[in-house]
Amino acid sequence: MNHQYLLLLLACVWIGCATVQSNDGNPSSTSDAPVDSSREDAQTVSSTAGSARHSISALRSAYLHGDYERVIRGVRERLRDSLSQSTTSTLYTLLGQAQQARRQHEHALKSLQAARANAFETDRSLVHLDRALGESYAALRRWSLAASAFHRVLETDSTDWATRQALAEVYRRARRWKDAKQQYERLVRRDSTNGQWWARLANCEIELGQVGRAIPHFAQAHRLQPQSADVALTLSRFYQSTFRTEKAQRVVDTTLSYRAGDSRLWRRRADLAFKQEQLGRSRRAYRRALATGDSSATLYRRIGLIDVKNQQYQRALSSLRRSYQRDSTHTRTALYLGISYLRVDSLQQASAYLQRTIDLETQGPITEALMQKGNLHNQRGNMTAAIQAYQTARRLRPSRTDVYFHLAHVYDEYYRDKTTAARYYRRFLRASDSTQQQLRSYAQNRLTSLRGALHMQEGLPSDSMLRK
């Protein structure tokens, strides 16, 4: 009995084990179990986001290494995907920055504007995008738009001094001097040790006609940046114009101790010494300017003039000839060449250069001044003075044809005897060309009108000065 019970118990255990093994080994046994789809979606999104982060990280690395073409190509490929607005904004920002680095500012503006639009929708900060937009607008000289972008940055953070400096520079380059001055005043209050800002502030004041304020500000810039040649040249010019020549010399000498190879400073040093009749010091400074790269006609002329003043005529000829080779239109160069050749007994060359001086003077402003003075006297009705001015201009420059017309017009207008007027009309018509067609037509018409009067005056005394 006990034996049968034991066999029955063992059989039940065997059947139970077989059933468990069958269920564990059959995959279809769980096919009807419910699936958690939300978990799978989360895993997919997480995978996509991770891929995007990895891609952006790689693109940023490429940007930092200067591989802008790779950034541009990579961003455009990623933008084809369906991305979040935040990711899209980040990608457009990278694209705009790469295009800025390649100076493709028109393209950069479009990318940065797209980045800003997406960032705005997601309530992200727009400061860095406005700053970048301002930089591209400024690069394209769109000053008003650049200023607006920088102002938006400063509205968010008024202590962003780099952006304030960029705004001041935009106003300066746009020649909005009052606005630029206001920004530079705020900058120097923030940092009074920045010499460049003091110089910019002074430049704005010069443009606004506030010279009295500008000079101490240039002086402050010079104290902070004694090595700046531009500041030294500007400050010394203002000191010289206000008769503070010694101060001007000290400014230039200070900067020369830093910039001994700057020919502009040596030229200014020489000019200041020349003004004070320090001829030896001036000549040495001019020679240093030559040695550091200035080979202008003016510099050679100054050296030659110093030699003439020192009665070193033979030495003067070398510098004066070089000046004349560079600029043959300057009257004083020809004059001092003539004087120097005369002093060394080269009479033929002296005569040629002295005649050249006369020709240059008569072709220059003096003849024009005489003509205009004649016109002035003519308008006032002072015909004697007008004729005298025109005749002097004619003697100085007989090749100037319009002087004959003006003489003819005065004699025609104010004197009864038209013989002299007709003579000058005819001389004008012979000497003039088609470029003076209007005057020629007037002269021809007057000669035609005067035929009868001239015929009647043939028997009159030849006194052309009989006034009306």
**Domain assignments of the chain as residue spans, ordered by start:** 394-459
Mean pLDDT score, 357-361: 88
> Which position has the higher pLDDT, 215 or 467?
215
Cα gap 433→441, rounded to integer Å: 11
Query: What pLDDT was estimated at residue 409?
Result: 93
The Cα angle at residue 360 between residues 359 and 363, in degrees rounded to 5 = 85
Average pLDDT over residues 153-181: 97
The CA distances from residue 106 to 80, 132, 217, in Å, are 22, 12, 38
274-283 contacts, C-beta under 8 A, 24 or more apart? 274/302, 274/306, 275/240, 275/245, 276/245, 279/306, 279/309, 279/310, 282/306, 283/307
- Averaged pLDDT, 409-429: 92
Contacts 24+ apart (CB under 8 A), 71-80: 71/95, 71/97, 71/98, 72/98, 72/99, 72/102, 78/52
Average pLDDT over residues 77-105: 91
Per the model's pLDDT, the better-predicted residue between 367 and 338 turns out to be: 338
Higher pLDDT, 30 or 290: 290
Cα separation of 125 and 211, whole Å?
Answer: 43
Confidence of residue 50 (pLDDT cuts 50, 70, 90): low
- Scored b (16 or more CB within 10 A) or e, 141-153 reads ebbebbbbbbebb
d(CA 357, CA 336): 9
pLDDT at 113 over 60: yes
Among the residue ranges 191-205, 222-236, 347-361, the one predicted with the least confidence is: 347-361
Q: How confident is the model at residue 455 (pLDDT cuts 50, 70, 90)?
A: low
Q: Given this model, what pLDDT does residue 24 score?
A: 45
**Span 117-164, pLDDT tens digits:** 999 888 788 999 999 999 999 999 999 999 999 999 999 999 999 999
Output the pLDDT for position 364: 80
What pLDDT was estimated at residue 53?
67
- Two tokens, residue 229: 């040649």
Q: How confident is the model at residue 45 (pLDDT cuts 50, 70, 90)?
A: very low
pTM above 0.85?
no
Between 454 and 298, residue with greater pLDDT:
298
Say whether pLDDT at 165 is over 80: yes
Amino acid at the residue 218: F
More confident residue, 227 or 123: 227
Q: How confident is the model at residue 390 (pLDDT cuts 50, 70, 90)?
A: very high
| Residue-averaged pLDDT of the chain | 87
Looking at residue 124, its pLDDT comes to 81
CA distances from 334 to 323, 337, 352, 354, 393 (A): 10, 5, 9, 7, 22
Name which residue leads in pLDDT, 182 or 57: 182
What's the pLDDT at 464? 44
Distance of alpha carbon 161 from alpha carbon 183, whole angstroms = 10
User: Average pLDDT of 402-415?
Assistant: 93
More confident residue, 44 or 324: 324
CA dist 252 and 271 (Å) reads: 11
Task: Encode burial over 34-73: b for 16+ CB neighbours within 10 A, e otherwise.
Answer: eeeeeeeeeeeeeeeeeebeebbeebeebbeeeebebbbe
pLDDT value at position 245?
94
Q: List the structure tokens of 343.
A: 């002093």
The pLDDT of residue 457 is 59
Say yes or no to pLDDT of 33 above 50. Answer: no
